[in-house]
Amino acid sequence: MKLKPLYIKNLKVDPPLILAPMSGLTHTVLRQLVAEFGGCGLFYTEMLSARALPSESPDSSPWLRGTPQERPIVYQLLVSHPEEVAAAIAKIESCGGDGIDLNMGCTTALIAKRGGGIALMKKPKRAEAIVRSSRKATNLPLTAKIRLGWTMSWNGLRDFCLMLQDSGVDAVCLHPRLKEDRLKRPARWEYIGKIKELLDIPVIGNGDVNSPQAANRMFELTGCDGVMIGRAAVKSPWLFRQIANSLSPGVCDNNYPDPADAFKRFILILENSMEPEYTLPLLKRFTFYFSQNYAFGHTLWTLVHNADSLATATVMANEFFQGTA
């Protein structure tokens, strides 16, 4: 199949390959690295608390930071109440966001307990009020990222998605797992196809895409308008380039980096973009996924995990790469 641009309201996403929101992972550093490799048509931020956002700025909060390379960019809001929406959206607009996403799928216990993330799929009236307040607050493209729900109910899922569409959401992103599945069982792609058939707005599929073949299968099996990739893009930030090159030859070239060079580049961008206190924890999170590029990746992961400074982690990682060369 050949990739077609996806339009979310007036936002052109070309190629229709999207970096997923991932807390602690899809910050400006990873987004810059992915952008350098190319092939990613849309970047999401990690979830940002709607309650905290109004008092934050890109200077005080590294999570609001971005560069012109990481565009277009959708800021994801973690929101529990409709009253939180307007001020948070005003802040996102002032940061130059190209779109807003409402997180309705996060399964973290504390977040669900406070009424955010997947808790909204249990409270469709409140979810509707949040969507309507968001729609009133902005003309930017508005998306919602959802799961299948708490337990499997096709009627419940169908009504929730129709509610999103009728209340002003411009695209739905479905990660087709139940709350209790977390990330354990395979994503149930068949529901992406069912929601695509149901809705008039674009549907973005997400879950377990880790290669050009898998991206192709998701497009073909579900008819989805865009594919969103999370963990595999942390492991291989060049994956979008590979997919774009494989499905739309000519969009990107087919040169792929030595993973060691990508890792070193990540550290360089990290040092340039983040305050020192954030660099080591962020490198550790990144390395958890990135180390899966190597047969003995657990060694790389352990070396970085046990390092007490970014400098030590860099030296240890370089020694590991020399051993694999």
Ligand X SMILES: Cc1cc2nc3c(=O)[nH]c(=O)nc-3n(C[C@H](O)[C@H](O)[C@H](O)COP(=O)(O)O)c2cc1C
Catalytically active residues are 106
Tell me the residue number closest to ligand X, measured at CB. 230
Residue 210 CB, nearest distance to ligand X (Å)? 7
Residue choice 15, 21, 41, 99 for contact with ligand X (CB under 6 A): 21
Residue 106 as a binder of ligand X (CB under 6 A): the answer is yes
**Considering the rule CB under 6 A, would residue 30 count as an interface residue with ligand X?**
no
Is there binding between residue 179 and ligand X (CB under 6 A)? no
Residue 148 C-beta: closest distance to ligand X, Å: 12
Among residues 100, 137, 209, 303, which is the contact residue for ligand X, using CB under 6 A? 209
For residue 319, the minimal CB distance to ligand X (Å) is 27
Cβ contacts of 101 within 8 Å, gap of 6 or more: 21, 44, 74, 75, 76, 77, 142, 143, 144, 145, 173
Peptide bond into 72 cis (omega under 30): yes
Among 8, 13, 19, 22, binds ligand X (CB under 6 A): 22
Region binding ligand X by CB under 6 A among candidate stretches 14-22, 121-129, 160-168, 264-272: 14-22
The residue from 8, 46, 133, 252 that contacts ligand X (CB under 6 A) is 46
Nearest distance in Å: CB 112, ligand X: 13
Query: What whole-number distance in Å separates Cα of residue 112 and Cα of residue 123?
Result: 11
Q: Which tokens go with 125?
A: 């009236």
Specify the residue, 22 or 316, whose C-beta has the smaller distance to ligand X: 22
176 is a site residue for ligand X (CB under 6 A): no
CA angle at residue 81 from 75 to 87, to 5 degrees? Answer: 50
142 lines the binding site for ligand X (CB under 6 A): no
- Per-residue three-class SS string for 266-317: HHHHHHHHCCHHHHHHHHHHHHHHHHHHCCCHHHHHHHHHHCCCHHHHHHHH
The answer to the question of residue 105 lying near ligand X (CB under 6 A) is yes
Both tokens assigned to 40: 């990613």
Closest CA relative to residue 192, chosen from 229, 220, 167, 159:
220
DSSP string, 130-192: HHHHHHHH--S-EEEEE-SBSS--HHHHHHHHHHHHHHT-SEEEE---BTTTTTTSPP-THHH
Q: Which of 145, 179, 194, 196 binds ligand X (CB under 6 A)?
A: 145
Interface residue with ligand X among 208, 215, 226, 286 (CB under 6 A) is 208
- From the list 20-28, 56-64, 237-245, 247-255, the region that binds ligand X by CB under 6 A is 20-28
Per CB under 6 A, contacts with ligand X among 224-263 are 229-232
Number of alpha carbons in the 13 Å side-chain half-sphere of residue 25: 21
Nearest Cα to 89, choosing from 124, 127, 59, 130? 130
Q: Which is nearer to ligand X, 48 or 316 (CB)?
A: 48
Within 8 A by CB and 6+ apart from 312, the residues are none
Tokens of 117: 């993330």
Q: Is residue 107 part of the contact set for ligand X (CB under 6 A)?
A: no
The answer to whether 222 contacts ligand X (rule: CB under 6 A) is no
Point out which residues bind ligand X (CB under 6 A): 20-23, 25, 46-47, 76, 103, 105-106, 145, 175, 183, 206-209, 229-232
